[in-house]
Structures are given as structure tokens and as C-alpha cells.
């Protein structure tokens, strides 16, 4: 199994790509603020999941990277709310992206609460 096989990775990568596509229509004056921030935070979610999986031999690192991923997912939700309130995305797009992000958060939390299902040995000295 690779990190690309993880459902949390797949869903978070898909969300980041959806955000990338929709953010192409954001105003140019948002290029160095909202657009960059939402792309950065959404891309950090799958990258932290990948790092967590690769560091699963170290339970504390696995947990830390997944909590980083969860935090980035929450940050992405804040940026989505800004995009909606600034009328850069409509209600339908906002609801779809937020719901997808909530699903990603649940998958990340499942990984945090069930590390042994992802190859983490909690009986190690690492």
C-alpha cells in the first residue's frame, strides 16, 4: 500500500484540485492573498497525509502530521467561507466544497483515532 491508496489522501487531493480550478476565476487582486492562501492550505492537506503515512514507524510523527493536515483542512474551510462571503463562489459551490472538506476531516480523524489500521505500531519506542 502507498499513501496514494489512502482514501483520505485521494479525497483531499481531489478537493485541492477542485479548489485550484474554482480559484482560477477569483479576481486578480486576490492573487497574492485569498487565491494563494486557499491553494496552499488545500494542498497541504494531502501532502501532510502523505508525510504522516511515510512516518508511520514513528507514532508521534504520524499523529503530528495528521493533526497538521486536519488544521490545514480547517484553514481551507475558512478561506472557502471568505470566498463565499466575497461572492467569488456561489452557495452551491460553497456547500459542495465545504461538505467535501468535512468528509476529508472525518477521514483524517479516523486515521488519528485508528493508527494501527495504517501500519502504526503503538508498542514501539520511537
DSSP H or E segment with residue 70:
helix 59-85
Mean per-residue pLDDT, 2-31: 97
Q: Give the span between the Cα atoms of 3 and 12, in whole angstroms.
A: 12
Q: What are phi and psi of 80, to 5 degrees?
A: -65, -40
Q: What is the pLDDT at residue 86? A: 97
Domain boundaries, the chain: 7-113
Q: What digits encode the pLDDT tens for the residues 67-80?
A: 999 999 999 999 99
Q: Which of 118, 23, 13 lies closest to 69 in space, CA to CA?
A: 13
Q: What are phi and psi of 123, to 5 degrees?
A: -100, 20
Homologous superfamily of 7-113 in CATH?
23S rRNA-intervening sequence (1.20.1440.60)
- For residue 126, name the pLDDT band (cuts at 50, 70, 90): low
Q: What digits encode the pLDDT tens for the residues 18-56?
A: 999 999 999 999 988 999 999 999 999 999 999 999 999
How distant, in Å, are the alpha carbons of 24, 58, 62, 114, 125 from that of 121?
42, 8, 11, 11, 9
Other CB atoms within 10 Å distance of the CB of residue 5:
9
Q: Give the span between the Cα atoms of 16 and 29, in whole angstroms.
A: 21
What is the DSSP-derived secondary structure letter of residue 85? H
Q: Does pLDDT of 9 surpass 90? A: yes
- For residue 100, name the pLDDT band (cuts at 50, 70, 90): very high
Amino acid at each position: 500500500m502507498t499513501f496514494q491508496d489512502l482514501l483520505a489522501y485521494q479525497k483531499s487531493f481531489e478537493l485541492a484540485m477542485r479548489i485550484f480550478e474554482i480559484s482560477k476565476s477569483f479576481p486578480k487582486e486576490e492573487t497574492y492573498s485569498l487565491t494563494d492562501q486557499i491553494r496552499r492550505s488545500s494542498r497541504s492537506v494531502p501532502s501532510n497525509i502523505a508525510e504522516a503515512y511515510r512516518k508511520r514507524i514513528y507514532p508521534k510523527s504520524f499523529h503530528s502530521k495528521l493533526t497538521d493536515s486536519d488544521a490545514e483542512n480547517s484553514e481551507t474551510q475558512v478561506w472557502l467561507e471568505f470566498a463565499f462571503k466575497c461572492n467569488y463562489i456561489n452557495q452551491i459551490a460553497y456547500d459542495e466544497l465545504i461538505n467535501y472538506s468535512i468528509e476529508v476531516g472525518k477521514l483524517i480523524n479516523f486515521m488519528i483515532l485508528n493508527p494501527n489500521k495504517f501500519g502504526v505500531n503503538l508498542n514501539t519506542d520511537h
